[in-house]
Amino acid sequence: MNENILFTSAGNKTSFYNLWCHKNRSYDIFICYYGSDKNDKYKEYSDIYLKRKGSKMQNFYYAWKENIGNIRKYKYFYIVDDDIIIKTDEINELFNMCNKLDIWILQPSFCNTSSKISHKITAQVIGNKYRFTNFIEINTPFFSNYAITECMKIYDPILVGYGIDILFMNILGIEEEKKYVIVDYIKCINPKSEYREIDKLQPEIKRIDIWKKISKSLKIKINNHKNFSFIK
């Protein structure tokens, strides 16, 4: 049993098993399969397994609430989209960095040439090691136990994707200068694709509308993305 865990909500269009599941991994793997196959797809790659419809954070919230596989005991959590391209050795190193830096949330940077980049701040800074920032994107974050515990107290599973990262940063405090890290010497790829599984679950226009209502009710602050300091 490891002190780290990787959680993903996996569908049928993924090849995570070729990337994240090597024997030298320093983390347990929790696969929540949301597809329609009747067999226990991907169970062979899992230390903890669940079949459930829903988005990544909806399914993680369910697992957390029910404490499936005693999930609340882990020290660090990698809650990653099933299509993110990153290798086992790189995930091991990022878990090591979480522990070494004693952060709340961390992510690898995104490759400038091959990856979809939704927020400019998450793109790799060539020649830099890592940086302290005030924004971490929800598709590939590492959380400390403290951070995910606080976030799960407020998270509402009506939120499917849009705005969740902003919500979490507001819960923990967007002005914390040494608790959020983007790692530049380790990059990943968020594949560019017009097809998105999440759109089958809920149209983007509805996701945005729900976020607007929740952010207004919680008086969420606008997160003006910034880097606090760079570590070469």
Residue given tokens 């952060």 in the structure block: 103
Rounded Cα distance between 135 and 174, Å, is 8
61 token code pair: 């919230």
Rounded Cα distance between 78 and 30, Å, is 10
pLDDT on residue 103: 96
Rounded Cα distance between 56 and 60, Å, is 6
According to CATH, the topology of domain 4-231 is Spore Coat Polysaccharide Biosynthesis Protein SpsA; Chain A (3.90.550)
231 token code pair: 């570590």
- Contact in structure between 42 and 92 (CB atoms under 8 Å): no
156 token code pair: 């509402």
- Contact in structure between 116 and 209 (CB atoms under 8 Å): no
Rounded Cα distance between 56 and 203, Å, is 16
Nearest to 192 by CA among 135, 124, 111: 111
pLDDT on residue 205: 87
Chain segment 115-125, per-residue pLDDT in tens: 999 999 999 99
Is the model's pTM score more than 0.75? yes
Show the low-confidence residues of the chain (pLDDT under 70): 195
**Structural domain boundaries in the chain:** 4-231
Sheet holding 28-33, edge to edge: 48-51, 28-33, 4-10, 76-79, 142-144, 105-110, 180-188, 130-133, 227-231
pLDDT on residue 195: 67
pLDDT on residue 202: 76
Scored b (16 or more CB within 10 A) or e, 79-99 reads: bbbbbbbbebebbbbbbebbe
Chain segment 39-63, per-residue pLDDT in tens: 999 999 999 999 999 999 999 999 9
